[in-house]
A and B are shown apart, each in its own frame.
Chain A
Amino acid sequence: MEKKLFQNTMSHIRMPSSCEEDILRKAEAISCENEKIINMKSRRRSRCFTVIMAVCLSIVMVSTITVSAFNGFNGHNWLLEMFSGKGFTYESEKLVLDPEYKDKLYSLTQDCMGEITNFNSSGYNSSNIKPIGAISDGTALYFTLQYTPEKPSNQIEYILPGDERTIKSRNKELDIINVSSAEVLQDDGSYFVWIMVTTDKPIKTSDMTVEMSLYEARRKDKSKDKDKVELYESDKCCFAFNVDIEKNTKVIRYSMDETISKEIDVLKLKKLFYADKAELSAFCMRIYGETGTNCLDFNTIPVKIITDNGVEIGCILDGGMTFTKKTDVLFRYTMPVDPETITAIKFGDQIVNLKD
């Protein structure tokens, strides 16, 4: 292959002018004002928060998980843990640990649960993987597996999904947009592995086939950060199953007439989003509207939902934002919530009431 062609090809990757403008604005602001005002790490900070919360929660969870977690599909701890490590707020964290809320949660997510059938596995350590449960709200498929590694846990860094993954709906392959995973070590040395898959089409059919694989991933050399995780073909465990999710999740729609704004003090600039509709389900909400001339980046403001008992639950931006004027944004809650109990949405300090 031609070197020149490679250079031409890669030269198409250029910094967008909006990014360059942002850098200049921030540099300008640093030189003019107190640099503490600059939120140059806004997105990263939320990630740090996620990591910290994940670590804290993992410690709490691991110490509080009992044998009931292994009740599998009849129990519901797996469902709660699925949402761990995704940025709980303090209030929602307390809620998760409340036994009464667990029952409520179980009943509200019943309609979204799917039945896993025909589970089979092959390859490395394939006898030590079993399905726990699957759930979908139509926007994503979440499923949980219990995996008992062959190696001692101190030799394993992560349990990671492999690159080969297929989801078929009625034998028609769907385009996978994103795969996220997390795992928590259980007392008996097994892992609960949660996987979230989003596809190009809503997940609503009664006949889905999932084919994926897991790796026991480890660092080649723990003392060297740069080498990080190594995946070995010999550590690959393949699995496949069918899932039946024909029930639809409850969605509540609200008309809105709100301007969501964020003022950048230093720059004397207001970033706006005109919201005209909200759709709320048990797992996520989608806000429809128009962007202002200065497009509001939802990554830069904390978004929460507020329930009728005053509990604030964090939301994570999942995507959907485009640079077209008419657009929508999707937020996933950090834990399932009965959409009927949501009374308001909080964008930064701005509270938008949904109910009078």
Chain B
Amino acid sequence: MDKQDFQDRLKLYKDMVYRIAFTYLKNKADAEDISQDTFLKLYLHEGSFKDSESEKAWLIRVTLNACCNLKKSFWQGRREDMPENLPSTEVFTTEESRLYHAVFELPYKYRIVILLYYYEEYSVKEISSIMNINQSTIQTQLDRGRKKLKKQLEKQGGFYYGKEVISEYNVTHKNAEFL
């Protein structure tokens, strides 16, 4: 791949790749390792991509496979990352901080599906194709993830929306799009 092309792609996808790896592994150092491997694989990738969407999907798939392999390793795989490994939440608002911690309390498979669906805005069908998992499994994981997330937030004693505490999740801002 051309050097300039690579730099452009790195600029475009670096946060996405890192975010996915971090969301999966909950560990900064591992997410950095996975990101480096993924981009170097892209750099060494010989074939061409049909379009930018297929390139993006390829990057996500490579990242998820690398995360999966890392998690499976013998000792490393069973290391439990605690919140100390999460990035500093100083830059977060109160709402964001609560949500952030709640998301990272979820099992990784739910975190990933929620991230791809709500952040990357992929459909269930697209996620299914990227992750090579049955659509109904993705849908189930999404539903369960949402429920668990709701529970996590409720455990924190109500979710703050603006200055008002909302204890019921169906009480929402009328214009907002909700999970």
Contact = CB atoms under 8 A, between A and B. Distances in A.
Contacts of B15: 11, 13-15
Given A1-B159, A13-B22, A228 B72 contact: yes
Interface string B16-33: 011100110000110011
Interface in B1-43: 3, 6-7, 10, 14-15, 17-19, 22-23, 28-29, 32-33, 35-37, 39-40, 43
A181 B76 CA distance: 10
Contact of B3 (A7, A31, A54, A158): A31
B176 A3 contact: yes
B78 A7 contact: no
A30 to B, nearest CB: 6
A25 B109 CA distance: 32
Interface residues of B, number: 63
B74 A9 contact: no
A176 interface: yes
B94 to A, nearest CB: 11
A13 B23 contact: yes
A40 interface: yes
Output the residue of B44, B74, B91 with the most chain A CB within 10 A.
B74
A40 B114 CA distance: 30
Given A2-B173, A3-B118, A44 B80 contact: no
A226 interface: yes
Contacts of A38: 40
A160 B96 CA distance: 32
Contact of A40 (B37, B68, B74): B37
Interface stretch (A16-24, A101-109, A348-356): A16-24
A168 interface: no
A12 B115 CA distance: 13
B11 to A, nearest CB: 8
B172 A15 contact: no
A6 B118 contact: yes
Contacts of B44: 30, 35
A5 B95 contact: yes
Interface of B: 3, 6-7, 10, 14-15, 17-19, 22-23, 28-29, 32-33, 35-37, 39-40, 43-44, 68, 70-76, 78-82, 84, 87, 91-92, 95-96, 99-100, 103, 114-115, 118-119, 131-133, 149-150, 153, 159, 161, 169, 172-173, 176-179
Given A9-B99, A175-B82, A225-B68, 20 more contacts: A1-B169, A4-B176, A4-B177, A13-B18, A15-B35, A16-B32, A23-B35, A24-B7, A26-B40, A27-B3, A27-B39, A27-B43, A41-B37, A44-B70, A47-B70, A158-B78, A180-B80, A182-B75, A225-B72, A228-B71
28 contacts: A1-B153, A2-B172, A2-B178, A3-B178, A7-B119, A8-B96, A9-B92, A12-B87, A13-B23, A14-B18, A19-B18, A19-B35, A28-B3, A44-B33, A44-B70, A48-B73, A50-B76, A54-B74, A55-B74, A158-B78, A175-B82, A178-B81, A178-B82, A180-B78, A180-B79, A182-B78, A225-B72, A228-B72
